[in-house]
Amino acid sequence: MGVVLGPTIGGFYQFIATVMQPPSYFVPASSPQVTYAFNFALQWVNTDLANVPGLQGAWTIYAQAVYNLAADTLIAWQPDGAEDPIYKDNQQYWAWLRTKYNVLAFVPGIVQSTSDEGTSSSYLLPRGYEGYTIAEIQNTKTPYGRNYLGIAQSYGTLWDIT
């Protein structure tokens, strides 16, 4: 019989290696940003999610929420090393991810319409976004942030935790 796995820094290293799959030259244990991102997520994610039961030997919903928020944060915070090679599109890996997910740009909502003349666009704020903080809007940019938000929004409704 195994133990249900809550969030640990070692578990986050495993998440980085198996889920995020950065280039092999990136060693999570040697990056302080990994620890900072994990610590931030551990402090931010609602600990009531730890009450959701899980299978032995598997990450709990709480651990998955922490790891996904930490991964989203890591993408925003992790600098590339001076010796890191170019990964894609003439950018190093972490810079490429930030560009790919448009992490550094402010986006006030979902694009509702665009036009060709004068390159304009208008934004729509969907009902689900009405209560979002700026941080939560930022989380929608990466798949890890969206996974975290999906878990966080299910708090109280899916598991009836109040």
Range of the domain at 39: 9-153
Residue 62 in any domain: the answer is yes
Residue 107 has pLDDT above 80, yes or no: no
What whole-number percentage of the chain has pLDDT above 70? Answer: 78
Q: Is residue 46 part of a domain?
A: yes
Helices 143-153 and 61-77, axial angle in degrees (round to 10) = 140
Rounded to an integer, the average pLDDT of 1-19 is: 86
Which region among 4-13, 54-63, 91-100, 123-132 has the lowest average model confidence (pLDDT)? 123-132
Whether 162 is covered by a domain: the verdict is: no
Q: What are the C-alpha distances in Å from 141 to residues 3, 55, 108, 110?
A: 33, 30, 12, 11
Question: What average pLDDT is seen over the chain?
Answer: 86
- φ and ψ at residue 113, rounded to 5 degrees: -155, 155
Distance (Å, whole) CA 138 – CA 142 = 8
DSSP 19: I
Strands (E), the chain: 110-114, 121-124
Q: How confident is the model at residue 126 (pLDDT cuts 50, 70, 90)?
A: low
Question: Most confidently modeled of 65-69, 130-134, 138-142?
Answer: 65-69
What is the structure's pLDDT at 134? 74
User: If you ran DSSP here, which 8-state letter would residue 25 be given?
Assistant: T
Residue 89 located in a structural domain: yes
79-102 pLDDT tens trace: 999 999 999 999 999 999 999 999
Residue 3 lies in a domain: no
Give a yes or no: residue 85 inside a domain.
Answer: yes
Total of domains in the chain: 1
pLDDT of residue 1: 44
Structural domain includes residue 159? no
